[in-house]
Amino acid sequence: MQWLRLGRILIVAIRFGLDEFVLAHSALRWLRPFTRVATFWRSFDLPRGARLRRALEDLGPIFVKFGQVLSTRRDLIPVDIADELARLQDRVPPFPSDQVLSTLQRVYGRPVDQVFARFEREAVASASVAQVHFAVLPDGRECAVKILRPGIGRIIGRDLALLDTAATLAERIWPDGRRLRPREVIAEFRKHLHDELDLVREASSASQLRRNFQGSPLLRVPEMFWDWCSTDVMVMERMHGTPVSQVQQLRDRGIDIQKLSRMGVEIFFTQVFRDGFFHADMHPGNILVADDGQYIALDFGIMGTLNDADKSYLAQNFLAFFRRDYRRVAQAHVEAGWVPPGTRVDEFESAIRAVCEPIFDRPLKEISFGKVLLRLFQTARRFNLEVQPQLVLLQKTLLNIEGLGRELDPDLDLWRTAKPFLEQWMSEQVGWRGWWRHLRDEAPYWAATLPQIPRLVHRALAERPDADREQQLLMRLVHEQQRQTRLLVLACAILAAILAGVAGLLLV
């Protein structure tokens, strides 16, 4: 079976002229005459990116999804190919209803009609990994049921093995193979797919996002019905709204389109800089708009996370870029440890300036955040930057949000909308708010640790009386802990005094 699948892949590759990617290598040029025998059915009238897209569509859903992931790695592949792969759509015929019912009976241990008050046999959405049916719970709540495709794990494993083999060959025979690191791309793709195969993981991500935006007028996230969720089935609240891509329908419903575009930007930056947890697949097919103008998020298979260092890197880069402070951009990369410590900041600064300065010949509203981030990645790669996977997801999401925002409002000034979030976050990190937040976060640790210090020191001294050096280090630790304690007490006293003074003024 594996050989038959490999044979089909080779036939499709030759049909769409993909052999040119491989046969460009001098050691394989002797194979070119053998591939030309099929020129009468080859599609050489299309550009290389379009031919690759068509081939992936012909090979099936797993290869389509691989192309979608590959399109996000613009730091690795040429722009023309990335643009073409971004057009891939995950349109897959639904699997039969008898397989749906069989899966549900296996998961719940009883027929579907005993689980749901009503279950619609016809799927409302179908993709490569799962499909969705509408249903009604026994208590009358409307829900959407997401069900994994039967045998999808085996299919994915088979095709991933072939992709691994192809990546290994590409590194060996393709001139740019090692630089583009295809095996790393496959590994990243494998991780995304395995995450999507666990619907409990997806449900937990949705639950976290819902909690982050609880009570927010910006974004609505469906509730997860945990009693009906499993690895193979996810049951969530059914959401009603208009697809965000249907702009005319939104206007007919009285939705303020310009406000909607600004809200999309606000949602993105809130997820990134407030929560460090963001929906990484926010293309128009995964977004609805409620009648009150609130966004509705769907499909939580791919989520991104950022730590404080990532957020600091992004905020500093965005702010420094729009101030044309290219030296600060270069230093941010070095300080983050993403370029070698010996990198000359002045050379890095010059390279960034050469890429970014021409952009400022246009109005700010025409500057693309996503393209700025991409250019920084591409420039930094020349200085041996290792691009962080979480930032690649962020760049993909930013391009989606930016494209959606400008489709809704071509005059959207992304910088003016985003700047307050960046400046507020930076002030919270480096100002007195950041100092107080750090003190508050560390207080439980110090409260638990400080009482133990004398006992730990005494034990260490008793067990190793001859260890003079260790004793000195421990005594220094004790003094340092005492100093930190005094600072903590002093800070609390100052804060109490300030609060008392404010209260006194209010009473007066």
Torsions phi, psi for 143 (to 5 deg): -145, 165
Q: What does the longest C-alpha to C-alpha distance in the chain come to? A: 95
Residue 281 annotated among the catalytic residues of the structure: yes
Is the distance from CB of 12 to CB of 46 less than 8 angstroms? no
Comparing 440 with 493, the larger pLDDT belongs to: 440
- The first and second tokens of residue 7, run together, are 């044979």
Q: Rounded to an integer, what distance in angstroms lies between the CA atom of residue 64 and that of residue 88?
A: 7
Q: Which residue has the higher pLDDT, 83 or 427?
A: 83
Higher pLDDT, 95 or 194: 95
d(CA 132, CA 61): 16
Distances in Å between the Cα of 485 and the Cα atoms of 171, 215, 400, 460 are 56, 39, 48, 22
Average confidence score pLDDT of the chain:
76
Q: Rounded to an integer, what distance in angstroms lies between the CA atom of residue 229 and that of residue 209? A: 17
For range 323-348, the mean pLDDT = 81
Q: And the tokens for 66?
A: 């691989």
Name residue 188's amino acid: E
Structure tokens at 32: 């070119």
Identify the band that residue 424 occupies on the pLDDT scale cut at 50, 70 and 90.
confident
Q: Is the pTM of the predicted complex or chain greater than 0.85?
A: no
Q: Once rounded to an integer, what is the mean pLDDT over residues 458-478?
A: 60
Distances (CA, A) of 232 to 134, 222, 309, 367: 16, 18, 35, 43
Of the residues 75, 281, 310, 409, only one is catalytic, namely 281
Quickly list H helices, 357-413. Answer: 369-381, 389-408
The predicted pLDDT at position 162 comes to 77
What 3-state DSSP class applies to 146?
strand
Res. 55: pLDDT tops 70: yes
Counting residues of the chain whose pLDDT is more than 90, the rounded percentage is: 24
Residue for token pair 């394989």: 28
Residue 505 has pLDDT above 50, yes or no: no
DSSP string, 55-109: HHHHH-HHHHHHHHHHHT-TTTS-HHHHHHHTT-----PPPPHHHHHHHHHHHHS
Query: DSSP string covering 340-363, please?
Result: -TT--HHHHHHHHHHHHGGGGGS-
- Average pLDDT for 382-393: 68
Distance CA 442, CA 438 (A): 6
Q: Which two tokens stand for residue 86?
A: 């971004």
Q: What six digits make up the tokens of 169?
A: 């060959």
Taking only the tens place, the pLDDT of each residue in 4-27 is 666 777 777 777 777 666 555 555
Minimum mean pLDDT among 53-62, 100-109, 195-204, 408-417: which range? Answer: 408-417
Task: Give the amino acid at 490.
Answer: L
- Name the residue with higher pLDDT: 409 or 188: 409
Predicted pLDDT at 96: 93
